[in-house]
Amino acid sequence: MNLRPDPTFHASPKLAMQAPVENFAFTVMLSPDGSKPDGIAVVDLKPGSDTYGEIVHQVMVPNLGDEFHHFGWNACSSSLSPLTGHAFLERRYLIVPGIRSSRVYVIDVKEPLKAKIHKIIEPEEVFEKTGYSRPHTIHCGPEGIYVSTLGGGGEDGTDGPPGIFIMDCETFDVIGRYEMDRGEQDKHYDFWWNLPQDYMVSSEWGLPPQFENGVVAEDLLSNKYGHKIHFWNLRARKNIQTIDLGENHQMALEIRPAHDPTKSYGFCGVVVDTTNLQGSIFTWWRDDDGTWQAKKVITIDPRPEKPENLPPLLQGFEAVPPLVTDIDLSLDDKYLYVACWGLGEMHQYDVSDPMNPTLAGKVELGGIARGTKHPSGGEFAYGPQMVEVSRDGKRVYWTNSLYSTWDDQFYPDDEGGQMVMANVGENGGLELDKDFYINFPDGYRSHQIRLEGGDCSTDSFCYPSV
Amino acid sequence: MEDVTSVAALWWAVIFSGLYHGINPGMGWPLAVSAALMEQKARALPRALAMLALGHFLAMIVILLPFSLMLVLVEYETQIRIGAGVIVIAMGVYLLINRRHPRFLARVHPARLALWSFLAAMAHGAGLMLVPIFLGICAIGVDEVDHLAAEKLMGNNVGTAFIVAALHTFAMTVAGGVIAVIIYLWLGLKFLSKTWFNLDIIWALSLIVVGAFGIYTAYSGH
């Protein structure tokens, strides 16, 4: 506990944008076959540094087969919530779950170049105290650290629904389940909230048997992956409304609420529409009468392609689906970045009017049957995937792996981990930085990125930008 | 000690404790700033302050009333004051040892400010901090009027409890309100986190000091 709030906690999104820029990034290093331990790479982002754009430190864990994916901070700007009195926490630890092992690592990054493991929460503690498995998304919030899970109990994680559990934000003990009334929620993926308005939104990917050994084509074609988003009364822990986006909208993944807490809308990315292979973005919002609505506001078309250029999984379709696998919203709620992992494109949409987004910028890199190279001349395996935006909105970082077994199905000939950066123009537009190209060590792929001092998908703000 | 424990000094203590509670962000002034910003109306600020004041006032009354009723037992006055001092010290020691924030406060809906304020005051022992001061005031009153009928005495004490709670809450609301207004109108949100000091240890020590003061004055017959 400090005597003052952590200087990286900001009352409003606007203040977070004005704060000093990030000096380091922390990026997942994933051993896709579990032959080596996973880890977190520390990347130097200090402008003018000799090692700028290089991995300067690695924290490797002592186990095999964890499968790191998403991760988050122990504390963020939500600590300034006037209700909780947690203002004196420190943004110091990364909470890194293994989605295959259900183990959770707490990594101390107070000194980024000496980052080390602080605590390991064994899978048994998660199973025993929550009945959930395969922890995934991390958010720091009013009652501690919230962790979404993709699996329920039992060997294959299908014994009971998955959900969210809460960890103590100081001791990192697992406290227990979040849900009091989950309604019809039976799958899980991402979640986020608006703290002052007291609502939470959660999404669905699929149950462990539907993803652990690769995408199950029959399940996808019979629309058995998640296609609903759930709205919760955050503090009552109750599902108040479920919206079915339509069963053809398979895999409703990332939830990105507007950062300004006075707004009651946000976005959700859908990987693929099984009727036409489009990727899409839905805007969800709350009407004046309190009911939630959702509407498709962006569609991205597939690209026709000769079957011989396609992986076996897609040959029958004779097209490359966009595969919208990640989205991220800048802190001023102006630009939504959409990763089209199949096409090999990163799109930037101006969402100032959330109901009428317009394409403002686009970058091509990697992609199925296209394999666009990086401007530095380097190869880019797979396509743009996990995207993270700097707080000031000027730099957009991304990596390329989706999920170990899925990478191999969609890109059977690719291998490797890369991290790149693009600069945002004054009035929108997106351009890859020729000099920022990180090749991960052999045998490692890259996934989620977190930026020092917070980024555009970690912090929840309790005061509006004025 | 005569001058320190005089009625006037004790009433000043009621006001100072109010100002002290008011500047502590843990008692809710950031909520008033937040309410005005979220509703985008300046008048939401005084309304939020009023709700916070109501909750705080009720928390004071809930703590002070049992003591004001107990004081009818005039012959046990010293023991009651010593007992109260011990309770206040115990709360301070508990808060020193258990430095964790009460998580249940986060479960209150952000719009239920009066409830939140009541619970926050209870959790932090804000009412207890007033008890030794209040008992001191009542005791001096008894000395002055000597052997009042029990009923009258009770009435007096209950009245005093309400006045103490109201004066304390008024001072708290002024202090918190001034900070909230200055941040809302002039300094801006940047100063919200700058003015947020961790008073946990000082707060716990204050309880211990006030409790010890209560025991001392009980022994010294003031």
Over residues A173-186, the pLDDT tens digits come to 999 999 999 999 99
Residue of A nearest to B200 (CA): A3
- The full set of domain ranges for chain B reads 70-220
- Which pLDDT does position B1 carry in this prediction? 44
- Is A80 within the bounds of a domain? yes
CA distance linking residue B213 with residue B92, whole number of Å: 13
Opening angle at CA A161, ends A159 and A162, nearest 5: 110
**pLDDT grade for B147, boundaries at 50, 70 and 90:** low
Residues 6+ apart with CB under 8 A from B219: B78, B82
Is A437 a residue whose pLDDT tops 50? Answer: yes
Within 114-173 of B, beta carbons closer than 8 Å to A belong to 116, 120
Question: Is B202 in the A-facing interface, judged by CB distances under 8 Å?
Answer: no
Comparing alpha-carbon positions, the chain A residue that sits nearest to B192 is A11
SS (H, E, C) chain A: CCCCCCCCCCCCHHHHHHCCCCCEEEEEEECCCCCCCCEEEEEECCCCCCCCCCEEEEEECCCCCCCECCCEECCCHHHHCCCCCCCCCCCCEEEEEECCCCCEEEEECCCHHHCEEEEEECHHHHHHHHCCEEEEEEEEECCEEEEEEEECECCCCCECCCCEEEECCCCCCEEEECCCECCCCCCCCCEEEECCCCEEEECECCCHHHCCCCCCHHHHHCCCCCCEEEEEECCCCEEEEEEECCCCEEEEEEEEECCCCCCCEEEEEEEEECCCCCEEEEEEEECCCCCEEEEEEEEECCEECCHHHCCHHHHCCCEECCCEEEEEECCCCCEEEEEECCCCEEEEEECCCCCCCEEEEEEECECCCCCECCCCCCCCCCCCCCEEECCCCCEEEEECCCCHHHHHHHCCCCCCCEEEEEEECECECEEEEEEEEEECCCCCEEEEEEECCCCCCCCCCCCCCC
Share of chain A above pLDDT 90, in %: 91
Each residue of B17-35: pLDDT tens digit? 999 999 888 888 999 998 8
Q: What is the reported pTM?
A: 0.93
pLDDT of residue B80: 86
Interface contact B193, partner A, CB < 8 A? yes
Give tens-digit pLDDT for B162-211. Answer: 999 999 999 999 999 999 999 998 888 888 888 887 888 888 999 999 99
Q: Is residue A8 part of a domain?
A: no
Q: What is the pLDDT of residue A228?
A: 96
Among A3, A11, A464, the residue with its CB nearest the CB of B192 is A11
Say if A302 is an interface residue toward chain B (CB within 8 Å). Answer: no
Mean pLDDT calculated for residue range A435-459:
95
pLDDT beyond 50 at A169: yes
User: Which of A416, A403, A410, A415 has its CA nearest to residue A311?
Assistant: A410
Q: For residue A78, list chain B residues with Cβ-Cβ distance below 8 A.
A: none
Mean of per-residue pLDDT scores for chain B: 85
Give me the mean pLDDT over the A256-285 stretch. Answer: 96
Task: Give the sign of the dihedral formed by CA B19, CA B20, CA B21, CA B22.
Answer: positive
Record: contact A83-B116, CB cut-off 8 A: yes
**What integer is the mean pLDDT of A406-422?**
94
Residue A7 lies in a domain: no
pLDDT category at A343 given cuts 50, 70, 90 is very high
Q: Is the pLDDT of residue B50 over 80?
A: yes
Cβ contact (<8 Å) for A84 and B198? no
Domain-embedded: residue A27 = yes
Considering only CB atoms, A198 lies closest to which of B100, B109, B120, namely: B109
CATH number of the domain within which A31 lies: 2.130.10.10
Number of domains observed in the structure of chain A: 1
pLDDT at B150 over 70: no
Give the model's pLDDT for residue A126: 95
Residues A80-92: tens digit of each pLDDT: 888 876 788 899 9
Does residue A3 belong to any structural domain of this protein? no
In angstroms, the separation between the Cα of residue B114 and the nearest Cα of chain A is: 12
Q: Under an 8 A CB cutoff, do A235 and B107 touch? A: yes
Q: Nearest residue of B to residue A3 by CA position?
A: B198
Of A458, A403, A466, residue with least CA distance to A72:
A458
pLDDT score for A147? 97
Mean residue pLDDT of chain A comes to 94
The reported pLDDT for the residue numbered A308 is 95
pLDDT at A191 (0 to 100)? 97
* Domain coverage including residue A342: 13-451
Confidence category of residue B222, pLDDT binned at 50, 70, 90: low
Whether A184 is covered by a domain: the verdict is yes
Q: Which residue is closest to A264 within chain B, CA to CA?
A: B38
